[in-house]
Structure 1
């Protein structure tokens, strides 16, 4: 029994010191790893922030150009056929959207889905106007769209509001 006690008396302080050293060294390494990750994240964020802002700017421009009133002002009818005019409007919106497809990687899925949904809703609204039998020409269709326009129901306005909100979160 004395042999065991004689063995543990010098070994026990060494084990305690070794355990404490391991505990503090492990904590230090974990803290260093977190610090390195934070620095990398901060550097990555400072490099991607301008790209993300540019994506938000481009999609804001897309939404402004897809705004029904802006679209009607910018795109004039080429003939009196209302179906051809609506097809031209839809083509313009779709081309603008296709031009900005790559910007989706810089924003949340929810924001991108809202933008897609607003574009699809606008296209559906335009197609619905073609079915209106009261309007017979492209010019009459334009007048009808302008007079019936309401910003409260505008899907583009909703998407633009959400896009602005998400862009502001980049700075908070």
Structure 2
């Protein structure tokens, strides 16, 4: 076979292949199959990031609101018995948690586990403190027992969870 005929055959196949490639490319692009994923991720991130930041903010607020010092100060009413203050505190903690439960969608699993754990610890702390008091104890006695217990801890668990939330938020 002649070299020029061979080259013309190769050139014909290359041109046909290039035309088919460009036709397929433009067809797929017009159908939306070749949209760049970076654009989609950018849109998702710009819409998701504010929700994530807000979720971390709300979880930090939740922790601050159930921290015993803040909780007891907010619920304090003269004349409450320890059992009445306990009931108010437990209801408040549960209500605050239910109000923020959907935020778990926007924070990490580790952060959500820490938030749930500190809620459980707080419920347990309030309940166990009231059982250690005499039946006629006042709300002030319960507050004192809870705050005294917290003062004996080497590390403040509320500050620990807040530090975790801040660290994760900063990584966003």
In the TM superposition, what is the alpha-carbon distance from 1:121 to its structure 2 partner? 1.2
In the TM superposition, what is the alpha-carbon distance from 1:105 to its structure 2 partner? 1.4
Question: 1: CA distance between counterparts of 2:135 and 2:148?
Answer: 13
Question: 2: CA distance between counterparts of 1:117 and 1:101?
Answer: 13
User: Secondary structure at 2:76's aligned position in 1?
Assistant: coil
Structure 1 residues 21-71: Cα deviation after superposition (integer angstroms, max 9, x where no partner): 95xx98xx8xx947x211121122112222222221111111111111111
> What is the TM-score normalised by the length of structure 2?
0.75
Q: In the alignment, which residue of structure 2 is the partner of 1:60?
A: 60
With over 3 angstroms needed to count, the CA separation of the structure-2 counterparts of 1:52 and 1:13, relative to structure 1, is: same
Question: 2: CA distance between counterparts of 1:98 and 1:165?
Answer: 24
User: Secondary structure at 1:100's aligned position in 2?
Assistant: helix
- Residues 93 and 119 in structure 2, CA contact (< 8 A), matched pair in contact too: yes
- Residues 122 and 156 in structure 1, CA contact (< 8 A), matched pair in contact too: no
- Residues 82 and 130 in structure 1, CA contact (< 8 A), matched pair in contact too: yes
Question: 2: CA distance between counterparts of 1:73 and 1:135?
Answer: 22
In the TM superposition, what is the alpha-carbon distance from 1:147 to its structure 2 partner? 2.6
User: Secondary structure at 2:98's aligned position in 1?
Assistant: helix
Q: In the alignment, which residue of structure 2 is the partner of 1:147?
A: 148
Q: CA RMSD in A?
A: 3.4
User: Secondary structure at 1:141's aligned position in 2?
Assistant: helix
Aligned residue pairs total 162
Question: 2: CA distance between counterparts of 1:119 and 1:56?
Answer: 16
Question: 1: CA distance between counterparts of 2:66 and 2:34?
Answer: 47
5+ residue gaps, structure 1, are none
5+ residue gaps, structure 2, are none
